[in-house]
Amino acid sequence: MERTYLIKPSLDDTLPMIDYGKGVYLYDREGKKYLDGASGAVTANIGHGVSEILEAMQEQAKKISFVYRSQFTSEAAEKLAEKISSLTPGDLNWCFFVNSGSEAVETAMKMAIQYWQEKGIQTKTKVLSRWVSYHGITLGALSLSGHTGRRARFVPLLEDFPVINPPYCYRCPYSLRAPSCGFLCAQELEHAIKRIGAQHIAAFIAEPVIGAAGGAITAPKDYFKVIKKICDENDILFIADEVMTGFGRTGSMLAMEQYEVIPDIVALGKGMGAGYAPIAAALASEKVIEPILAGTKVVMSGHTLSANPQSCAVSLAVLEYLEKNKIVSEVESKGEYLMNLLLQLKNQYSFIGDIRGKGLLLGIEFVEDAANKTPFPRNAQITQTIIALAKEKGLLVYPAGAGIDGVNGDSIIVSPPLTITKSEIEELVSLLAETFEGFSKQMK
């Protein structure tokens, strides 16, 4: 093995060296072209190399790149907070800026606990979550994550916060169908609260569409209304983890808008900087911030680079770009177009079990036997094989669990930049078809 000084994700030497990106395409140093069918990790929402963003970067760098958050605020941070408040529903008016989705989730969790403390209630410290979920890699966020594979090594250090099943209609544990099922998987929250005691629970957190742990598992329409009602009735805050879904990915600025639920707290990341800067945020509603403002006036979270002016200016430029080019309003129709083409592939390949998702966040689950939904054996490494084959053909897709238990099952996420054109969608699907054809031949 050639000597390297970098710890690469897989510790091997097969990662190509990137050269540059433009639109939905990436080019490596060997001159190979890739269609970015996953926006990296569902991040590059406006595509690569957008000149307006590069200009905004330069403009901000000429003024100031860094100030410490307790010494100065900046025009970029103030304007970004105002923009986010104007783009999000309800009165989610307060932004706490951090640098990654994991930090946003950690901050959301701390805000929820602090909210109750400032109201004089010290016992509400648990934040419940669902199995088959991913909320981040730091220990607090990992405690919330119902992703058995990512938890495994650290279990003794983690809290047991995942307590209920996800809304995984393809493999419903009750063998029922929505909406006649009565959303029993959401009702599980009521039972969990009774067992644990609402006096111990600060909040419940969920992803609107389950990403890395489940391959775009999408809740049926009224699911989150049931969840929010249970939270409200038990004095428990509802945190939406919109790190993956936020800022247009599913066809609305927040995915929760489509579920007609306004969360108390929202975690944002990925699409906020669209890969041009590390930036994320926890948003709090007036209700949540009120006792904090009336009390200690300090949110007990923060990082050296929180509200970094450079990152804030970039995020502001990304959000303005989304708005100016009316990108989000086209996501639903682009998503439908992509979904319909993928459904045609489902008819051709028996190893495609389910195709699901919302907007341009779609998932494909692979099974050994479509009729019985039998998963492939874990050691067959199906997801890894398909991802590698696609990459060989010049297509990037994102690996995910299939939601069976966060480890078993195979699925990929297809989530190209929101700026993708119709003909690029066709190219993406044709590369995917070639990949599946190759995989089909390998299986014989």
Applying CB under 6 A, the residues found at the interface with ligand PLP are: 41, 100-102, 105, 134-137, 207, 211-212, 241, 243-244, 269
**Token pair recorded at residue 76:** 């970029």
What is the Cα gyration radius of the chain?
Answer: 21
Considering the complex, state which of residue 137 and residue 196 has its C-beta at the smaller distance from ligand PLP: 137
Joined together, the tokens standing for residue 171 give 């493999």
| 135 or 389: CB nearest ligand PLP | 135
Measured from the CB of residue 254, what is the shortest distance to ligand PLP in angstroms? 13
By beta-carbon proximity to ligand PLP, the closer residue of 139 and 298 is 139
Closer of 37 and 211 to ligand PLP (Cβ): 211
If the CB atoms of residues 53 and 240 are measured against ligand PLP, the closer one turns out to be 240
144 touches 205 (CB < 8 A): yes
Minimal distance, residue 242 CB to ligand PLP, in Å: 8
Nearer to ligand PLP, 69 or 135 (CB): 135
Q: Tell me the closest approach of the beta carbon of residue 151 to ligand PLP, in angstroms.
A: 14
Rounded Cα distance between 432 and 345, Å, is: 9
Nearer to ligand PLP, 43 or 60 (CB): 43
| Distance in angstroms (rounded) separating the CA atoms of residues 331 and 336 | 8
Cα 340–chain centre separation: 23
* Three-state secondary structure call for residue 162: strand
Residue 196 CB, nearest distance to ligand PLP (Å)? 23
* Nearest residue (beta carbon) to ligand PLP: 101
Edge-to-edge strand list for the sheet holding 33-36? 18-22, 25-28, 33-36, 395-396
Spatial neighbors of 143 by CB under 8 A, at least 6 apart, are 158, 159, 160, 161
Least Å distance, CB 353 to ligand PLP, is 22
Question: What are the Cα distances from residue 406, in Å, to 133, 156, 240, 255, 400?
Answer: 8, 18, 20, 22, 9
Instruction: Give the span between the Cα atoms of 280 and 339, in whole angstroms.
Output: 29
Closer residue to ligand PLP in complex, CB, 124/130: 130
215/403 Cα distance (integer angstroms): 7
Burial of 390 (0-12, 13-18, 19+ CB in 10 A): buried
Task: Render 300-356 in DSSP notation, one character per residue.
Answer: S---TTTT-HHHHHHHHHHHHHHHHTT-GGGHHHHHHHHHHHHHHHHHH-TTEEEEE
- What one-letter code names the amino acid at 407? V
Shortest distance, CB of residue 133 to ligand PLP, whole angstroms? 8
To ligand PLP, the closest distance from the beta carbon of 412 in angstroms equals 14
Minimal distance, residue 249 CB to ligand PLP, in Å = 10
Least spacing, CB of residue 99 vs ligand PLP, in Å: 8
Residue 407 CA, distance from chain mean position: 18
Nearer to ligand PLP, 146 or 251 (CB): 146
